[in-house]
Amino acid sequence: MSTSTGTDVNVVVIKIKNFGGVAETDVPYMVSDGCTIDSNGDGDALDCGSVVYSAACTGNAAALSGDGDLDPGEVVSVIGCTVTYGPNAVADTGDSVTHVLTIVHCGADGTIPPCTGNDGGTDSNPSNNTATKNTKVLP
């Protein structure tokens, strides 16, 4: 078993689906982290040590489709996104990292950057544009 007192590399599984009815050509995604949960109970949420995502954890989901767009109902998988913990001192472990996946809808409600264009549409359901997962950093 790997531990974060060494260098602990983990695959981050990300699947992105278009739940809407319009093919999207510009679908930026990114992953960010926060040390948010005091899992070791010492009164602070500071003990997550080093948390580093690989470059593939940021990109454009449309480009992951064979034809360059994310069609209605289409699902694409991100390949090569990893998160590396450590090497950490034991004292810098024990709390939990909250990983946040953010998908940007590049329409009238999008932002440039990370969007490269504005297709004029609006995301009818912004509630599914983020996903979170908590991971405890083991010593």
Q: Determine if 24 is a binding residue for Ca ion (CB under 5 A).
A: no
In terms of C-beta distances under 8 Å and separation of at least 24 residues, what long-range contacts does 87-91 make, across chains too?
Answer: 87/4, 87/5, 87/6, 87/7, 87/50, 88/4, 88/5, 88/49, 88/50, 88/137, 88/139, 89/5, 89/49, 90/5, 90/139, 91/47
List % helix, strand, coil for the chain (3-state, nearest 5): 10, 35, 55
**Residue 66 identity (one-letter amino acid):** G
Q: Determine if 44 is a binding residue for Ca ion (CB under 5 A).
A: yes
Give the nearer residue to Ca ion in terms of CB position, either 56 or 63: 63
Tell which residue, 26, 15, 11, 36, has the closest CA to residue 101.
Answer: 15
Of the candidates 25, 56, 71, 102, which one interacts with Ca ion according to CB under 5 A?
71
CB of 19 to Ca ion, least distance (A): 6
Size of the site for Ca ion (CB under 5 A): 15
* Six token digits for residue 29: 């995604």
Q: Determine if 109 is a binding residue for Ca ion (CB under 5 A).
A: no
> Which residues in 112-131 contact Ca ion (CB under 5 A)?
123, 125, 128-129
Of the candidates 47, 81, 97, 101, which one interacts with Ca ion according to CB under 5 A?
47
CB of 51 to Ca ion, least distance (A): 15
CB of 90 to Ca ion, least distance (A): 11
**Residue ranges in contact with Ca ion by CB under 5 A:** 38, 40, 42, 44, 46-47, 65, 67, 69, 71, 95, 123, 125, 128-129
